[in-house]
Every structure is written in C-alpha cells, then in structure tokens.
Amino acid sequence: MILVTGGAGYIGSVCVERLLAQGNEVVVIDNLIEGNRGAVLPEAVFVEGDFGDWKVLNKIFTQYSVDVVVHFAAHASVPLSMADPAGFYQNNVINGINLLDAMMEHDCKKMIFSSSASTFGEPQHTPIDEDHPQLPINPYGETKLAFEKILYWYHKAYGLQVNSFRYFNASGASEKLGEAHKHESHLIPLAIQAATGKREKLEVYGHDYDTKDGTCVRDYVHVIDIASAHIRAIDNLDKHPFAAYNLGCGVGYTVDDVINAVQDISELKVPFEYVGRRAGDPAVLVASHKLAEKELGWKPSYNLERIVESAWKWHEAHPNGYHGNGEVSTVR
Ligand SMILES: NC(=O)c1ccc[n+]([C@@H]2O[C@H](COP(=O)([O-])OP(=O)(O)OC[C@H]3O[C@@H](n4cnc5c(N)ncnc54)[C@H](O)[C@@H]3O)[C@@H](O)[C@H]2O)c1
C-alpha cells in the first residue's frame, strides 16, 4: 500500500491516478484545506484528516501495510508564506516530523518528498542543477529546505530511504484531473481564467527584466511527467537511498510566451496588465534535469504547447473545476 499525503491536491491527485493505473493500492490523506475531494479517484481509499494528527496517522499505519509514503501535503504558496511563516513552519516542518515519526514507529522507511525549486533562491547560474547553492528567499522555500535536511538526518540515523524532487513550475492536466487550487497563483490557470472571463484580467508582475520581452522566464513541467518521476523514484530508493532531483524541462518561457500559447490554443484573448515586479521573483528560473535523467531514466515529454493544450482541455471540460459539472468522483 502506498500512502499519498495531499492526494486531493493538484499534483498529488495526478500521481494517485498514475499509481492506480500501474496497479498499486493507494490510501490518501488530505484535510481538503486546498485540495478537492472530487480529485481523488474512487479506486483510492480516502481519509479526510491532517498529517499533523498522530491518531489519524497511527490508525492508517495500523490498518494498512504502508510500504512507501509519497508526501505532497504542504502549504505551497510563496506570497502566503511571507504573510504567515508560522503556519508554514507548522505544516511543512512540524507536521512533517509527526509524519516521519509515525512512519518510524510503524517501520515504514521509504518516502518520496515534494520539495521545490524555491529552495535555491536567487539563481547564481542557470540552468539550476542539484549542486546549485540552496539559499531560499522566502519562508516557503525555507520550510522545504528545512525538511530536506531533516530527511537527511532521519536517513543517517534511522535508515529512512528518501528521494526528494525540486519541481520547477508544475503545470498541465491529465484527462480527468487538473489544476484547481482554491487560492490560485499559477500562471497557466490564471491566464485561462482571464481568457474565459472568470477573472477580469491577468496581472503580469514586472515588464523590465533582462529577458527577451521583459517578463520573467520559468520552466514549465507537466504534472504527468512529475508523476512518472515519482513512480520511478519508488524503484530507485534501494539504489539511491538518499537523493534529490530537479524536475524541469530545461527550457525557459517568458510570461508573454505563456499568454500567447493560451491565446493560440483557446482562440480567445487573454486580457492582461503589466504591473510592478513582485518581491522575491528572480528573472530566470530554469532547471537542469540531467541527474534525474541519469539516475532515474526520466525525461520530460511535454513541451509548453502540449502543456497548455492539456490544461485548456481540462478547463473546458471542467468549467467549474471540481465543483458542479465535471466532478470525477462523488463524495463518499
Ligand atoms: N505546483 C507547483 O508548481 C509546485 C512546485 C514545487 C513544489 N510543489 C510542491 O508539491 C506539493 C503539491 O503541490 P500542489 O500544487 O499539488 O499543491 P496543492 O495545494 O494542490 O496540494 C497540497 C494538498 O495538501 C493538502 N494539505 C495541506 N496541508 C495538509 C495537512 N496538514 N494535512 C492533510 N492535507 C494537507 C491540501 O489540502 C492539498 O490538497 C507541495 O508540497 C508543493 O509545495 C508544487
């Protein structure tokens, strides 16, 4: 049995879908603060609960023979972390230790962890490889880095096997599952919402960066590619029992490129406005995925066009996200 924390969230739900497709049994824990019950396929066991709650975890580990924990659950917004560092340390670090201790108590010693590119901070060179210094510039990145370090010491002291992934910009959708954050801050869904009139306009932060059109450059990686890296990592743990990999395509696109792609694919106009830079936004963030390719045999398979196409298709089929039309499963 595989325990997926945050499996009702965006990336977690797609990973659950892929794990199930490969014949795995999956139990999801999610407190639905950000996720959607309708994003958890009915073939998975769903436990509505908090991974900071020892009793709930103890019950799960007692009831199911959990071999691996895939740990997505976290507070994941940079701007929210600037306003509430305490909440981020509580959820991403303290609750994480609770999860690790429950795992150790029940002799479950394998974890795949969702870290983040935000652990790197301002890029000192690009593309960013795994040797790049990790100097986060916001509480979100700090909490992810803190947890990576905690994982190292659990590995050393207690034999925890762990692969961490530092995703760049997760994006795109599967046929059934897509991006529907309650507090949306990601460019592609925001651009789609603006195109479809769900929001008045898209605000583009900064138009004076040293890039081809003055807008920020980011590396977009498809959520299905991310899920496939996790599945490969489960088999990688015995060979590489403590490893961290950057997940990106190695190609950067500006905000204007993304807006143009959304306009081309949707055949709709994206109303947008250039506003001032946002604190803590580096001009360019592009990953090197050479290590993931070498050790996991992982390569991204979606380019920006296919990423936006899949996101657009999902939003067209699920105009209300997981609410109302287009729910993939009903609440049990
Ligand atoms: N989306 C990205 O581009 C991106 C980039 C880098 C890293 N990440 C990391 O990947 C992971 C998943 O990201 P996402 O975009 O799918 O986010 P998400 O918010 O959609 O998913 C996180 C899920 O965790 C759940 N959750 C949060 N705290 C919980 C708690 N205490 N107990 C139980 N459930 C809890 C939420 O309800 C949500 O369903 C996060 O750890 C995030 O930091 C995401």
Report angle CA 76, 82, 85 to the nearest 5 degrees.
75
According to DSSP, the residues that pair with 254 across neighbouring strands are 217
- The pLDDT score that the predictor gives to residue 88 is 97
pLDDT of 330 strictly over 70: no
CA-nearest residue, atom 4 of ligand 1? 170
Question: What is the C-alpha separation between 233 and 163, in angstroms, rounded?
Answer: 7
pLDDT of 114 strictly over 70: yes
Residue 232: CB within 6 Å of ligand 1?
Answer: no
Contact, 28 vs 7, CB < 8 A? Answer: yes
Q: Is 0.85 surpassed by the pTM of this model?
A: yes
| Count of domains forming the chain | 1
Predicted confidence band at 282 (pLDDT cuts at 50, 70, 90)? Answer: confident
pLDDT digits (tens, 9 = 90+) for 51-63: 999 999 999 999 9
The CATH number covering residue 87 comes to: 3.40.50.720
Contact, 188 vs 260, CB < 8 A? Answer: no
Question: What is the C-alpha separation between 46 and 297, in angstroms, rounded?
Answer: 31
- The pLDDT score that the predictor gives to residue 77 is 87
Contact, 75 vs 91, CB < 8 A? Answer: yes
- The pLDDT score that the predictor gives to residue 327 is 41
The SS3 of residue 243 is strand
- Kindly give the distance from the C-alpha atom of residue 111 to the centroid of ligand 1, in angstroms, as a whole number: 16
Owner of token pair 């936004």: 281
Residue 331 resides in a domain: no
- Kindly give the distance from the C-alpha atom of residue 210 to the centroid of ligand 1, in angstroms, as a whole number: 31
Stretch 290-303: mean pLDDT = 97
- The pLDDT score that the predictor gives to residue 324 is 59
DSSP-derived secondary structure letter, 128: B
Predicted confidence band at 130 (pLDDT cuts at 50, 70, 90)? Answer: very high
Residue 170 resides in a domain: yes
Question: What is the C-alpha separation between 135 and 71, in angstroms, rounded?
Answer: 23
Stretch 277-305: mean pLDDT = 93
Residue 326 resides in a domain: no
pLDDT of 166 strictly over 90: yes
Stretch 43-56: mean pLDDT = 98
Could you tell me the residue range of the domain that residue 111 belongs to? 2-317
Residue 167: CB within 6 Å of ligand 1?
Answer: yes
Residue 114: CB within 6 Å of ligand 1?
Answer: yes
Phi and psi at 192, nearest 5°, equal -65, -40
Residue 73: CB within 6 Å of ligand 1?
Answer: yes
Residue 7: CB within 6 Å of ligand 1?
Answer: no
Active-site positions read: 140
Q: Name the packing angle between helices 95-105 and 139-158 (round to 10°).
A: 20
Residue 27 resides in a domain: yes
Element containing residue 35 per DSSP (H, E): none
Question: What is the C-alpha separation between 231 and 150, in angstroms, rounded?
Answer: 23
pLDDT of 328 strictly over 80: no
pLDDT of 329 strictly over 50: no
CA-nearest residue, atom 42 of ligand 1? 76
Report residue 140 as tokens. 């979100």
The side-by-side arrangement of strands in the sheet containing 217-218 is 253-254, 217-218, 284-285
Residue 327 resides in a domain: no
pLDDT of 163 strictly over 50: yes
Question: What is the C-alpha separation between 70 and 149, in angstroms, rounded?
Answer: 17
**Summary mean pLDDT of the chain:** 94
Residue 329 resides in a domain: no
Question: What is the C-alpha separation between 170 and 220, in angstroms, rounded?
Answer: 6
Stretch 208-217: mean pLDDT = 95
Residue 11 resides in a domain: yes
3-state SS, one letter per residue, for 180-236:
CCCCCCCHHHHHHHHHCCCCCCEEEECCCCCCCCCCCEECEEEHHHHHHHHHHHHHH
- Kindly give the distance from the C-alpha atom of residue 219 to the centroid of ligand 1, in angstroms, as a whole number: 19
Residue 325 resides in a domain: no
